[in-house]
Amino acid sequence: MYAQLVETGAAETSEKDREFQEKIDRGVRIEANDWMPEGYRKTLIRQISQHAHSEIVGQLPEGNWITRAPSLQRKAILLAKVQDEAGHGLYLYCAAETLGISRDEMTEQLLSGKAKYSSIFNYPTLTWADMGAVGWLVDGAAIMNQVPLQRCSYGPYSRAMIRVCKEESFHQRQGFDVMRQLCEGTEEQKAMAQDALNRWWWPSLMMFGPSDKDSVHSEQSMRWGIKQNTNDELRQKFVDQTVPQAEWLGLTVPDPELKWNEETGCYDFGEPDWSEFFEVIKGNGPCNKDRLAARNKAWDDGAWYRDGLTAHADKQNQQIAAE
């Protein structure tokens, strides 16, 4: 999802580890100062920081359209949405910091390309309709993943997710609203919406990560209460929720294998191209280089401003000390 392929530490067998597992099983939240296994701590740092990086990098594809939104109102809405994502990144970085990693370390990991972020943000936003598709599908998929994370065993992460989830509904709805307006417009506008769905459908399904049978990290994460559902479970839920919405819009989901299964009460659907997914994760997606370059440029261009603020704060403190 926003954190795909998180490497998971192993559980140990000491008395302390056993007590810790019992606490998790009883549903007691773990807090920053509580004892925790090193594997649990490291897994959470990786997952939360990846999630944070995704929120931050996730601003770029939509930021691309702020200056070109078709009306002042759409521009204000998109700006507010992207601003929320910056906030989500902030909540999450702070949650990760409670586990003993510094903000600078995480920033460094993102800027150097060492850290991962969600594969979805390495695709380009080519038309205005992509703002609709991203809000509707990408934020829709994010919600699917983040709602169960509100019950994550780690308190600071779960509370950050509660804040995030409150804000996400606006994101998905504004995206759907963009799609709806296009679909109710001219033939060309509707074709734009269809084209955006065609390009974003499969990358959105990949957001949930590899199929369960290939997902090596899930089991321990689930035992530790870091993960509540498997990748395939969430993907299925997303398809079941989204296909009727596409139909409502009068759009066609680009999957010839998609069909309603009377017996299971769910949709059957095709397999995403996992080789594409792994290429994007490895850094070879259409926009990986641009995204990293944009983050590095923002960081470097902001250096004089950060330094200025620090110098001002130092001066204030010296004045207070002198008084």
Partner 1 sequence: MSKEWPLWEIFIRGQHGLSHRHVGSLHAPDSEMALKNARDVYTRRNEGVSIWVVESAKIAAFDPDTAEHNFAAPKSKVYRHPTFFEIPEDVGAM
Interface with partner 1 (CB under 8 A): 28-29, 31, 73, 76-77, 80, 84, 140, 155, 158-159, 169-170, 172-174, 176-177, 241, 244-245, 248
- Judged by CB under 5 A, the chain residues 109 through 138 that form the site for Fe ion are none
* 234 is a site residue for Fe ion (CB under 5 A): no
Residue 309 touches which of partner 1, Fe ion, none (Cβ within 5-8 Å per kind) = none
Residue 142 touches which of Fe ion, partner 1, none (Cβ within 5-8 Å per kind) = Fe ion
Residue 169 touches which of Fe ion, partner 1, none (Cβ within 5-8 Å per kind) = partner 1
Find the shortest distance in angstroms from Cβ 83 to partner 1. 9
The answer to whether the beta carbons of residues 115 and 109 sit under 8 Å apart is yes
* 51 is a site residue for Fe ion (CB under 5 A): no
Find the shortest distance in angstroms from Cβ 249 to partner 1. 9
Reduce the DSSP state of residue 45 to 3 states and report it: helix
- Judged by CB under 5 A, the chain residues 270 through 299 that form the site for Fe ion are none
* 139 is a site residue for Fe ion (CB under 5 A): yes
DSSP H helices, the chain, are 15-25, 38-57, 59-63, 72-97, 103-111, 129-133, 140-149, 155-183, 187-206, 218-223, 231-249, 274-279, 288-301, 303-322
Residue 88 touches which of Fe ion, partner 1, none (Cβ within 5-8 Å per kind) = Fe ion
Residue 245 touches which of Fe ion, partner 1, none (Cβ within 5-8 Å per kind) = partner 1
Residues sharing a CB contact under 8 Å with residue 247, sequence separation 6 or more, in sequence order? none
User: Rounded CA gap, 52 and 57, in Å?
Assistant: 9
Q: Which is nearer to Fe ion, 171 or 217 (CB)?
A: 171
User: Rounded CA gap, 152 and 48, in Å?
Assistant: 11
Reduce the DSSP state of residue 30 to 3 states and report it: strand
- Judged by CB under 5 A, the chain residues 52 through 81 that form the site for Fe ion are 55, 58
Structure tokens of 291? 């995204």
User: Rounded CA gap, 239 and 205, in Å?
Assistant: 8
Residue listed under structure tokens 């989901």? 253
Strands 266-268 and 259-261 turn out to be: antiparallel
- The answer to whether the Cα torsion of 49, 94, 306, 77 is positive or negative is positive
The residue within the footprint of Fe ion, chosen from 56, 77, 142, 287 (CB under 5 A), is 142
Find the shortest distance in angstroms from Cβ 11 to Fe ion. 30
Q: Which is nearer to partner 1, 76 or 191 (CB)?
A: 76
Q: Which residues bind Fe ion (CB under 5 A)?
A: 55, 58, 85, 88, 139, 142, 168, 171
